[in-house]
Amino acid sequence: MGTSKTAHSDSSNKKKRGPGTLATAYLVIYNVVMTAGWLVIAVGLVRAYLARGSYHGLYYSIEKPLKFFQTGALLEVQSEDSVLLFVVAWTVTEIIRYSFYTFSLLNHLPYLIKWARYTFFIVLYPMGVAGELLTIYAALPYVQKTGLYSITLPNKYNFSFDYHTFLILIMISYIPLFPQLYFHMMRQRKKVLGHVEEYSKVE
């Protein structure tokens, strides 16, 4: 019995054990760099807005760092308003997210960052999704007209791909996915912050 308990205890300790020193150092550096990168984007947005006095043209002032830190942005910009909507949402979200990861790895997570991680999404997530959908929708005529990223037959691979249809399917996929992800985050918020907020009410 004693041996069994000891073996179970050792197994539990191994499962709870975090990444090694080198892995932790790498992850901390990575998250610090990503936090700094998104801060550069945030500062760039603010500086460009203050210099121009308008949000028009702001996207192009942060286009290069944005493409570096947020890979996979394949759409040509057809509507800057919608792009700025999700860029602002992404920027604030990523600064909070990578700060959260960094302090968690260092076992010193300030409550403010923890709270922001599980609260700001309430506004930022719908804001980002709305911006993404509006950007895709605005790009559809351009994609269809130019055949952007599409592959037509005949070709030696006997394969075709319609990027316009692909984007429409992506938009449709938001209908079932967005509510699931959003309410999952709401449940996580209640799980992580719920007991703290209930305690504050009692106080």
Catalytic-labelled residue, pool 94, 101, 118, 132? 132
- Distance, CA of 67 to CA of 40 (rounded, Å): 13
Cβ neighbours of residue 189 closer than 8 Å, sequence gap 6 or more: 118, 119, 121, 122
Asked about 125 being catalytic, the answer comes back as yes
Asked about 55 being catalytic, the answer comes back as no
Angle at 85 between CA 80 and CA 86, to 5 degrees: 105
Catalytic-labelled residue, pool 125, 137, 149, 174? 125
Quickly tell me which residue has 């037509």 as its tokens.
152
- Distance, CA of 45 to CA of 192 (rounded, Å): 32
Q: What residues are annotated to the active site?
A: 125, 132
